[in-house]
Structure 1
Amino acid sequence: MTILGNRQLPLLPPDAVGAHTRASRDPMTCLFKCGNACDQPEPNRSGNPHLQDEIARVLGRRRVLQGALLGGATLVLAGAATEDAAAAPTADRVRRGSLARTWFRPVRPNRRDAVVTASGFTSSVVIRWGDRVLPGAPAFDARRQTVAAARRQFGFNCDYVGLVPLRERTDEALLVVNHEYTNDELMFPPGIYTDDEKRALSMYNHGMSVVRVRQGLVPGSWKQVTPLRRAPENRRINVETEFRLTGPVAGDPRVRTSADPRGRTILGTLNNCSGGTTPWGTVLSGEENINQYFDAGDGVPEEYAEEYARYGITGEGKGWSSVDPRFDLSREPHEPHRFGWVVEVDPSNPSSVPRKHSMLGRFKHEGANIIIARNGRAVAYLGDDERGEYLYKFVSRDRVDRRPTRAARRHNLGLLGSGTLHVARLRGDGLDDDRYDGTGRWIPLTSDRRSFVAGMSVADVLLFTRLAADRVGATRMDRPEDVEPNPVNGRIYAALTNNSERGTTFPVDEANPRGTSMVRAEPGAPLTPAAGNRHGYVLELVEDRGRHTGLAFGWNLMLVCGDPASAETWFGGFDKRLVSPISCPDNVAFDSSGNLWVSTDGNALGSNDGIFRVPTSGLERGRVAQFLTVPPGAEACGPLVADGDRSLFFAVQHPGEVTGATFEEPASTWPHTDDFPRPSVCVAHRDR
Structure 2
Amino acid sequence: MKPLALFAAHEPAGSRARVTCQYKCGNACFHEVPNTSANTYFGDIVAGISRRRLLQGSAAAVVAIGAASALAACGDGTEVGPAANSGGTGTGFAPVAPNTEDALVVPEGYEQGVVIRWGDPLFEDAPEFDFFGQTPAAQAEQFGYNNDFAGLLPIEGQPGKYLLVVNHEYTTEQFMFPGYKPEAITREQVEIAMAAHGLSVVEVHGDPGSGRLKPVFGKYNRRITATTEFRLTGPAAGSPLLKTSADPTGTKVLGTINNCSGGVTPWGTVLSGEENFNAYFVGKSADPVAAARLKRYGIGESDAPHYWEKFDKRFDIAAEPNESHRFGWVVEVDPWDPASTPVKHTALGRFKHEAANIHVAADGTVVAYTGDDERFDYMYKFVSARKVEPGTGAASRRHNMTILDAGTLYVAKLTGDHPDRIDGSGTVPSDQGFTGTGQWIPILRTAEDGRGESLVDGMTAEEVAVFTRLAGDKVGATKMDRPEDFEANPKTGKVYVALTNNDKRGTDGKPGVDEANPRNKNKNGQVLELTDDHAGTSFTWTLLLVCGDPAAADTYFAGYDKTKVSPISCPDNLAFDPYGNLWISTDGNALDANDGLFAVVLDGDRRGETKQFLSVPVGAETCGPVITEERVMVCVQHPGETDDASVENPASHWPDGGTTQPRPAVVAVWKSGGGRIGV
TM-score range for the pair, normalised by the shorter chain length: 0.7 to 0.9
Equivalent residue for 1:585, pick from 559, 567, 571:
571
**Which residue in 1 is equivalent to 2:483?**
480
Contact 1:50 1:507 in 2 (8 A): no
Equivalent residue for 2:178, pick from 183, 186, 189:
189
**Which residue in 1 is equivalent to 2:200?**
209
**Which residue in 2 is equivalent to 1:199?**
190
**Which residue in 1 is equivalent to 2:293?**
307
- 1:292 maps to 2:279: yes
**Which residue in 2 is equivalent to 1:245?**
232
Query: Which deviates the most, 598-607 or 309-318?
Result: 309-318
Equivalent residue for 1:29, pick from 20, 36, 45:
20
- 1:441 maps to 2:439: yes
- Partner Cα distance (2:168, 2:12) in 1: 26
**Which residue in 2 is equivalent to 1:521?**
none
Equivalent residue for 1:653, pick from 623, 627, 637:
637
Equivalent residue for 2:591, pick from 598, 601, 605:
605
CA displacement 1:59-86 (0-9 Å, x = unmatched)? xxxxxxxxxxxxxxxxxxxxxxxxxxxx
Task: State how 1:547-558 maps to structure 2 within 5 Å.
Answer: 548-558=534-544
Deviation at 1:123, TM superposition (A): 1.4
CA displacement 1:12-69 (0-9 Å, x = unmatched)? xxxxxxx9645541111111110110111111011113467779999xxxxxxxxxxx
Task: Say what the alpha-carbon RMSD is for the aligned residues.
Answer: 2.2
- Partner Cα distance (1:465, 1:260) in 2: 22
**Which residue in 1 is equivalent to 2:247?**
260
**Which residue in 2 is equivalent to 1:416?**
404
**Which residue in 1 is equivalent to 2:65?**
none
Equivalent residue for 2:530, pick from 541, 561, 574:
541
Which AA in structure 1 matches 2:383?
V
Which AA in structure 1 matches 2:639?
P
CA displacement 1:362-389 (0-9 Å, x = unmatched)? 0000000001111211100001001000
- 1:344 maps to 2:332: yes
Contact 1:99 1:647 in 2 (8 A): no
Which AA in structure 1 matches 2:462?
A
**Which residue in 1 is equivalent to 2:548?**
562
- 1:665 maps to 2:670: no
Contact 2:13 2:588 in 1 (8 A): no
Deviation at 1:619, TM superposition (A): 1.1
CA displacement 1:555-586 (0-9 Å, x = unmatched)? 00000000110011100111101000000000
Q: How high is the TM-score relative to the length of structure 2?
A: 0.86
CA displacement 1:123-156 (0-9 Å, x = unmatched)? 1100000000123111101110000101101111
Task: State how 1:90-105 maps to structure 2 within 5 Å.
Answer: 101=90, 103-105=92-94
CA displacement 1:168-224 (0-9 Å, x = unmatched)? 312111000000001112111117995333222111111110010011133322111
- Partner Cα distance (1:303, 1:394) in 2: 27
Contact 1:537 1:560 in 2 (8 A): yes
- Partner Cα distance (1:314, 1:406) in 2: 43
Q: State the secondary structure of the residue aligned to 1:366.
A: coil
Contact 2:357 2:486 in 1 (8 A): yes
Contact 1:51 1:509 in 2 (8 A): no
- Partner Cα distance (1:194, 1:639) in 2: 34
**Which residue in 1 is equivalent to 2:4?**
none
Which AA in structure 1 matches 2:123?
L
- 1:686 maps to 2:671: yes
Q: Which runs of 5+ in 2 are unaligned?
A: 1-9, 50-82, 420-428, 447-451, 674-679
Deviation at 1:405, TM superposition (A): 5.3
Contact 1:300 1:314 in 2 (8 A): no
Q: State the secondary structure of the residue aligned to 1:440.
A: strand
Deviation at 1:101, TM superposition (A): 2.0
**Which residue in 2 is equivalent to 1:527?**
none
Contact 2:88 2:606 in 1 (8 A): no
Contact 1:22 1:39 in 2 (8 A): no
| Structure-2 change in CA distance of 1:600 and 1:472 (3 Å) | same
**Which residue in 2 is equivalent to 1:574?**
560
| Structure-2 change in CA distance of 1:283 and 1:190 (3 Å) | same
Which AA in structure 1 matches 2:311?
V
Equivalent residue for 2:37, pick from 38, 46, 63:
46
Deviation at 1:409, TM superposition (A): 2.6
Q: State the secondary structure of the residue aligned to 1:438.
A: strand
Identity among equivalent positions (%) equals: 52
- 1:386 maps to 2:389: no
| Structure-2 change in CA distance of 1:300 and 1:137 (3 Å) | farther
Deviation at 1:417, TM superposition (A): 0.8
- Partner Cα distance (1:457, 1:55) in 2: 27
Task: State how 1:617-632 maps to structure 2 within 5 Å.
Answer: 617-632=603-618
- Partner Cα distance (2:475, 2:663) in 1: 44
Contact 2:11 2:30 in 1 (8 A): no
Contact 1:52 1:509 in 2 (8 A): no
Which AA in structure 2 matches 1:381?
Y
- Partner Cα distance (2:600, 2:249) in 1: 48
Contact 1:51 1:510 in 2 (8 A): no
| Structure-2 change in CA distance of 1:246 and 1:648 (3 Å) | same
CA displacement 1:90-128 (0-9 Å, x = unmatched)? xx99x9xx9952511110000000000011112110000
- Partner Cα distance (2:180, 2:493) in 1: 54
- Partner Cα distance (2:392, 2:548) in 1: 46
- Partner Cα distance (1:481, 1:148) in 2: 33
- Partner Cα distance (1:243, 1:436) in 2: 43
Q: State the secondary structure of the residue aligned to 2:550.
A: coil
Equivalent residue for 2:219, pick from 232, 241, 248:
232
CA displacement 1:590-638 (0-9 Å, x = unmatched)? 0111100000000000000000000111111110000000001100001
Aligned length: 608
Which AA in structure 2 matches 1:671?
P
**Which residue in 1 is equivalent to 2:119?**
130
Query: Which deviates the most, 257-266 or 307-316?
Result: 307-316
Deviation at 1:319, TM superposition (A): 1.7
| Structure-2 change in CA distance of 1:620 and 1:99 (3 Å) | closer
| Structure-2 change in CA distance of 1:281 and 1:270 (3 Å) | same
**Which residue in 2 is equivalent to 1:358?**
346
